[in-house]
Chain A
Amino acid sequence: MRWKKAIPGVDQALLVKDAAKLMPDPMRRQFLRGAASVGALAFLTGCDIIDGDTAESVLRKVSDFNDGAQAAIFSRTKLAPTYKESDITRPFPFNAYYSLAEAPMVDGASYKLEVAGLVDNKTPWTLDALHALPEVSQITRHVCVEGWSAIGSWQGARLSDFLRRIGADTRARYIWFKCAEGYTNTIDMASALHPQTQMSFKFDNKPLPRAYGFPMKIRIPTKLGYKNPKYVVAMEVTNTDKGGYWEDQGYNWFGGS
């Protein structure tokens, strides 16, 4: 089927092209300038009736409003659809703003997950300790903000179980994740406590490969791909929204699906 070609695979040239496409040009950060649609939109964009910065700030406010709308739509109990083993997309695409060759290489033996913020026990977790947590499994659809989707199989621990184990204050508003390459992500507590939100250590019942986020990915099937951080090295339970790599550049904060 033709659409499958649109999914970026592990092909290097495709990856670089994809990453370049996603990278915002600093000179083009204002979403309006030079963007006239169907000619008729020129009156919105080409002239000075609506200043570019004003329109962008209005759009950002609507995006904030949409965060609230999505939080209201979000159900704590509604599960993402699950699929059969035969539905898994193979090869499951690697996707990032860098190529696979540039992806973080985390040493599992010396790895320690740092836990910070509003938690009782801040002792860092070794991989062995994390792997000893009760395992859950899911075959769900990963939906990218770009539009493509792929079905994958993840195994690991429920994030909600882990949060209770470390004595996290689950009345806090956010969980902030930090990744080995510097990627960051903030998610809302309701999504963190969703039964399918998982600290994934395996893909397709095999140890998580580097492409998919070794040693740990946060799998959230109720959120878009950019809200599913890979190579996670630290998490913080907090009431402060610390933003995220893509969110700070304009992607919607809630990113729910």
Chain B
Amino acid sequence: MTAAAPATMPRIAIHPGWVRVCHWINAVAILVMVGSGWQIYDASPLFDFTFPRQIALGNWLAGAIMWHFAAMWVLVVNGLVYLALGFATGRFRRKLVPVRPRELAADIKAALTFRLAHEDLAHYNAVQKLLYIGVILCGVVIVLSGLGIWKPVQFQELTALFDGYDTARYVHFFAMAAIVAFLVVHVSLALIVPKSLRAMITGR
């Protein structure tokens, strides 16, 4: 079992192939969904701001919707494959749980003072575990709320789960905001610790 082997062994990949493939497909899908989502938001803003059109995808509403409902399939199919393999291979169980409050407190303190260790990339610290679980849950919420907005008649039970069409739009927006906030931290840390980026590309 590769799971039991020490991750420092050179022949064992830190991230198996399916994780890396899913990760990069997801990365592209998320960027397209967020970029086109900003353009769609601008057509009827929920708050007193709009996203600059230079960073919004699709040029106008129809183009943005085309992008959004094309990348939707990529995001959902890839996400389902990732979730299925994450559970089936035991990766989620091994890597993401448990998140112990004491470890979490210590790791948050270490992270804020820039003393969080990264010797072993195969082992996630408590902050990483919490953020990865959190962003996976955000992914589930953003897809479900999105389906509720897309099909408030055919999937009306789902829309009702989010307290109706209007509230579902807010849920969808805040899930996007949480994912973008995660992305900022995630990409920054990957650039600060380049070997983590290499591991997600080559597996080692």
Determine whether B79 belongs to the interface, using a CB cutoff of 8 Å to chain A. no
A229 to chain B, nearest CB (A): 18
Do the beta carbons of B44 and A73 come within 8 Å of each other? no
Q: Which of A21, A35, A146, A147 contacts B57 (CB 8 A)?
A: A35
Chain B binding surface, main DSSP class: helix
Query: Does any Cβ of B come within 8 Å of A145's Cβ?
Result: yes
Q: Are B31 and A146 in contact (CB under 8 A)?
A: no
B165 and A24 within 8 A (CB)? no
Q: Give the residues in chain B near A6, CB-CB below 8 Å.
A: 44-46
A143, B155: Cα distance in complex, Å: 14
Q: How many A-B residue pairs have CB under 8 A?
A: 134
Tell me, yes or no, whether B59 is within 8 Å of chain A by CB.
yes
- Max chain A CB contacts within 10 Å: which of B55, B60, B153? B153
Known: A37-B55, A59-B66. A146 touches B154 (CB 8 A): no
Q: Which residues of B contact A25 (CB under 8 A)?
A: 60
Select one of A31, A58, A62, A74 contacting B154, CB under 8 A. Answer: A74
> Which residues on the B side are within 8 Å of A24 (C-beta)?
60, 62
B98 beta carbon closer than 8 Å to chain A: no
Considering only residues 19-58 of chain B, those with a C-beta below 8 Å from chain A are 28, 31-32, 34-36, 38, 40-41, 43-48, 53-58
Number of interface residues of A (CB under 8 A): 52
A145 to B43, CA, bound (A): 9
CB neighbours (8 Å) of B67 from chain A are: 31, 59
- Would you call A2 an interface residue if the criterion is a C-beta within 8 Å of the partner chain's C-beta atoms? yes
| Cβ of A78 under 8 Å from chain B | yes
Per the 8 Å Cβ criterion, residues 29-84 of A in contact with B are: 30-41, 44-45, 58-60, 62-63, 66, 73-75, 78-81
| Majority secondary structure, A binding face | loop
A252 to B61, CA, bound (A): 11
Contact (A143, B31) CB under 8 Å given A38-B55, A66-B69: no
A28 on interface, CB distance cutoff 8 Å:
yes
With contacts A143-B165, A147-B40 taken as known, whether A221 is within 8 angstroms of B34 at the C-beta atoms is no
Q: Which residues of A contact B154 (CB under 8 A)?
A: 73-75, 78, 222, 256-257
State whether the Cβ of A202 lies closer than 8 Å to any Cβ in chain B: no
**What residue of chain A has the Cβ atom nearest to residue B65's Cβ?**
A252
Q: Does A141 contact B (CB under 8 A)?
A: yes
14 A-B interface contacts by CB (under 8 A): A22-B61, A24-B62, A35-B35, A35-B63, A36-B57, A37-B32, A59-B70, A60-B66, A62-B70, A80-B153, A144-B44, A149-B152, A221-B153, A251-B65
Known: A33-B59, A145-B65. 16 other contacts (CB 8 A): A24-B60, A25-B60, A35-B58, A37-B35, A37-B36, A37-B56, A38-B34, A41-B31, A41-B32, A62-B70, A63-B70, A79-B153, A147-B40, A149-B165, A252-B65, A252-B66
What 4 pairs across the A-B complex have the smallest Cβ distances?
A: A37-B35, A31-B63, A250-B62, A147-B44
